[in-house]
Amino acid sequence: MILKALKKIKFILKSMKIAWIQSSILSNSAFILNRLRGEIIRNTHSIEKGLSLEHVKLGFGFIKIKDTTNYISKFLDNGGSWDDISIKMFFSALKEYLAFHKKNGFSNKDIKWINQYYETNYHKVLYFDNYGGIQVVKKLSFSDEERHLVKRIFYTRHSAREFTKEPINEEHLKQAIEMAMHCPSACNRQCYRCYIVDKNNFTKLGDWLSGSGGFASELDKVLVVTGNISVYRPEEMQQWLITGSIFASYLSLSLHVFDIGCCFMQRYVIPQKGNSSIMNRLGIPLDEQIICCLGIGNLKDEYKAPISHRFDYTDIVKKI
């Protein structure tokens, strides 16, 4: 009983330490530009979502828009640029917001204030068309053949631990990562980051590859996926893990499309001794949390992989 109680106390103390580290990051002035950029994008996405509704409420979103203008002022005061992508997103969405209200013949003191702000500042931002707003998406109907192809991509992806000796095609890797970047993310903040560690730099990973079961020497590269903490609010604790994990999942499939095999290499997602030195060697900022690593290489024509039997549908899915 005493041992069990000590383990529980140790777990609680470790959790408190993690919360303290994350809280310090969320309030650290060194990351203020990331934090403000996150707020600008978050509120921009609120405008976009409001315009995407079937029945748009006229005059919606004034408080968030005004808050965003304050965030932009603070962003600029702290060394940010008018040409930052977050500001381009905001002005592009704001342009469409004003055009929508003009088209519907709606105006009030709030709309006039927003219009005045836009007219005063839009010329300071270069080339922001199509960075924000809404788009009309036509429903795509997929044929059985296309569905079968997608199913084939899902069902033929395996965790590979055997690879050819040829280096990965850099352009294919870039395309695979760009495909994965189309994954959904909380309020479009895209907190995921990806660090490509080449074979000749594996020593920078310290002992991270020691638990790989001996196949680390077969890898061509390791992709380190992280989540940026500072773009979130304190009440959104751990959201960066969710978005970063979604990105990593998409990436495992997009790599497969380009004949690049990968194996998820679990790393501790909580701070561990030695993590900070590895992050420093890889140039990972302190406001990012490592989520996982993907060991990658070119697939052989044939390779061995675990069966990894899946649970039955009824074991996973419960109808409510």
DSSP 29-43: GGGHHHHHHHHHHHH
> Which residue ranges in the chain fall short of pLDDT 70?
211-213, 267-274
- Residues 88 and 174 occupy one common structural domain: no
- Residues 168 and 288 occupy one common structural domain: yes
- Residues 35 and 117 occupy one common structural domain: yes
Within 78-142, where are the H helices? Answer: 85-103, 109-121
pLDDT at residue number 25 = 80
Per-residue pLDDT tens over the stretch 31-62:
999 999 999 999 999 999 999 999 999 999 99
Q: Does a structural domain hold residue 255? A: yes
Per-residue pLDDT tens over the stretch 249-269:
999 999 999 999 999 987 666
* Count of domains for the chain: 2
Q: Does a structural domain hold residue 58? A: yes
Q: Looking at 124, 140, 173, which one is the last position of a domain?
A: 124
- Residues 292 and 180 occupy one common structural domain: yes
- Residues 9 and 69 occupy one common structural domain: yes
- Residues 110 and 176 occupy one common structural domain: no
Indicate left, alpha or beta for 318 from its phi (over 0: left) and psi (-120 to 50: alpha). Answer: beta
Beta-carbon contacts of 119 under 8 Å, excluding residues fewer than 6 positions away, are none
Give me the amino acid identity at 64. K
Strands 221-228 and 288-298: antiparallel
- Residues 66 and 167 occupy one common structural domain: no
- Residues 103 and 176 occupy one common structural domain: no
Q: Does a structural domain hold residue 318? A: no
Q: What is the residue-wise DSSP string for 41-79? A: HHHHHHHHHHHHSSSPPTTTTHHHHHHHHHHHHHHHHTT
| Segments forming the whole domain that contains residue 107 | 2-124
List C-alpha distances in Å: 187 to 226, 233, 288. Answer: 18, 12, 18
- Residues 190 and 272 occupy one common structural domain: yes
Distance between CA atoms of residues 27 and 4, nearest Å: 35
- Residues 215 and 258 occupy one common structural domain: yes
Q: Does a structural domain hold residue 115? A: yes
Give me the amino acid identity at 207. D
Q: Does a structural domain hold residue 151? A: no
- Residues 191 and 252 occupy one common structural domain: yes
Look up the CATH number of the domain holding residue 239: 3.40.109.10
pLDDT at residue number 274 = 64
Q: How many residues does the chain have?
A: 320
pLDDT at residue number 236 = 86
pLDDT at residue number 268 = 67
- Residues 74 and 171 occupy one common structural domain: no
